[in-house]
Structure 1
């Protein structure tokens, strides 16, 4: 559990957003979720927009840390099966437990970013070790457009995660395998 009050509030806001949606994201709801006295959240984040911005920054920080950890010290996948296994593991994390909660909050924020360019800028995809591993694997296969194919593959994976969050179910290794195969041809 974070000891920094701002981080604690941002984490609580992620949970509120995941559980209650954007309409349920209020200063009072975050106070309750963080088990802090009423008014605490508004003392740190005066406006709803400031709270939402802090939440988005925290989401990105958590995601980047996870992706960095996944790719740290790990060489590019040796074959398509290894890439499928790595992507499948990421998808499983995004659909279960705390990863599911963060995914729900992330998609709500993505939709909100259509109306708030500052959120869109924070949510912009970033370089990380996991993304590098995909790009390096595709480049090692002799593909001259590895960057574009990486973006397409990861966007399709993101779409599968979104679909399963909305409609239920899981993503099979076979589905990921078809996406990887498509990116190779």
Structure 2
């Protein structure tokens, strides 16, 4: 079975999930969205669970690649303003275009993972260059519990992204600066 076809189906499943919600994620919906003959998705992913697992694995791979790229583009910040700017870029990516779709799909999968420990395991936060940059910056600023503060800060950012997806609106620089300042306290 072709890896490229599997990737296409997983990518299309992410789009279907983001556009229609968890109930709209069906083999047929993925076939239609990918413009493939009926039955193609079920030939590669026999069950809905297999399709959802493939979707989540692909989502995590795309997110990790994005965070690695951001970490390369935005090395360890030298100031809280640089950290806030980097976080602002992450938020912008998560709220626009394909990033928005992946974010919507990620939250749908997170809710689904409450009842599915295997999905929850795949979705666990992972180490990446962007996360390491935040932690290194906090440690360089003398924050004693830099690892814990990094997790706290990124959870706050995640909550801010979730709020803006659900309620609309943009994120103000002052909001991000406030989160960074709180992490440094």
In structure 2, distance between residues paired with 1:73 and 1:30: 34
Give the alignment of 1:17-166 within 5 angstroms. Answer: 17-72=17-72, 74-166=74-166
Q: Distance in 2 between matches of 1:115 and 1:25?
A: 17
C-alpha deviation, 1:58, in angstroms: 0.3
Distance in 2 between residues matched to 1:97 and 1:80, nearest whole Å: 27
Map Cα deviations across residues 119-169 of structure 1 (whole Å, 9 max, x no partner): 000000000000000000000001110000000000000000001001111
Q: What's the offset of the Cα at 1:75?
A: 3.1
- Aligned match of 1:177: 177
List 4+ stretches of structure 1 deviating above 3 A.
none
TM-score (norm. length: structure 1): 0.97
Partners of 1:78 and 1:147 lie apart in 2 by 18
Give the equivalent residue in structure 2 for 1:13: 13
Q: Deviations over 1:85-127 (max 9, x none)?
A: 0000010010000000000000000000000000000000000
Give 3-state SS (helix, strand or coil) of 1:78's partner: coil
Deviations 1:73-93 (A, max 9, x none): 753100000000000001001
Question: What's the offset of the Cα at 1:70?
Answer: 1.1
Q: Which moved more, 1:37-46 or 1:169-178?
A: 169-178
**Matched pairs, number:** 184
**CA distance in 1: counterparts of 2:122 and 2:19, whole angstroms:** 22
1:35, 1:172 → 2: CA distance? 40
**Mapped partners of 2:75, 2:85: distance in 1:** 14
Q: Is the 8 A contact 2:74 2:86 kept in 1?
A: no
